[in-house]
């Protein structure tokens, strides 16, 4: 959402350079955050398996695989969120809905087929991650189509990063606190 707000502001001003800085910074920072979250998850797997999940012995191996796959998927999911934010700022909700609808349809059909063929949960989770990765590639191509003059090289812009961080942190706090207050009230 922070990427959407920042990109939209630059779009309104016609500031192509600002858009380029925000997009690069949002994509790279989400990739870094996703990688860090994935590494933390990888390090936490032994504790999660021992104290949280407590899977039956016959499912322990599958549970380990699922956590490994989730950890590897985190960078993909965060980059995908940034790409959706960029498309949102361009008001291309038709493309977002088409990609999301297609991804979800393929995800559920493949999951159903794999379960019907007797594959385990870890294979179904892997297929979901592959589906998400394909969706991320499609969203990236659509972003390139919207702004072909963009320079998609890696790089942080300190001002853009600070603005994204400020907006994103307030949005994160409100998204966590609001449901908590609702549930506490109940």
pLDDT of residue 5: 76
Average pLDDT value for residue range 8-19: 78
pTM listed for this prediction: 0.78
pLDDT over 60 (residue 43): yes
CA proximity to 94, closest of 132, 128, 145, 130: 145
Q: What span, in angstroms and rounded, lies between the C-alpha atoms of 48 and 71? A: 13
Q: What is the DSSP string of 163-181?
A: HHHHHHHHHHHHHHHHHHH
Q: What span, in angstroms and rounded, lies between the C-alpha atoms of 17 and 20? A: 5
pLDDT of residue 133: 95
* Contact assessment for residue 151 and residue 20, using Cβ atoms and an 8 Å cutoff: yes
Q: Kindly report, residue by residue over 72-120, the tens digit of the pLDDT.
A: 999 999 999 989 988 998 899 999 999 999 999 999 999 999 999 999 8
pLDDT higher at 174 or 93: 93
Per-residue CA distances from 111 to 6, 39, 72 (Å): 37, 27, 19
């Amino acid at each position: 959402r922070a990427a959407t707000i920042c990109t939209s502001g630059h779009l309104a001003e016609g500031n192509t350079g600002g858009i380029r800085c925000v997009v690069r910074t949002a994509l790279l920072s989400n990739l870094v955050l996703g990688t860090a979250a994935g590494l933390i998850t990888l390090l936490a797997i032994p504790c999660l398996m021992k104290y949280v999940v407590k899977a039956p012995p016959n499912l322990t191996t599958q549970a380990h695989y699922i956590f490994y796959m989730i950890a590897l998927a985190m960078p993909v999911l965060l980059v995908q969120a940034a790409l959706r934010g960029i498309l949102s700022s361009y008001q291309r909700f038709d493309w977002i809905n088409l990609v999301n609808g297609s991804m979800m349809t393929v995800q559920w059909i493949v999951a159903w087929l794999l379960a019907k063929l007797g594959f385990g949960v870890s294979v179904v989770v892997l297929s979901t991650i592959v589906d998400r990765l394909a969706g991320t590639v499609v969203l990236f191509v659509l972003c390139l189509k919207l702004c072909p003059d963009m320079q998609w090289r890696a790089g942080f812009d300190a001002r853009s990063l600070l603005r994204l961080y400020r907006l994103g942190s307030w949005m994160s706090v409100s998204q966590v606190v609001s449901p908590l207050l609702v549930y506490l009230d109940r």
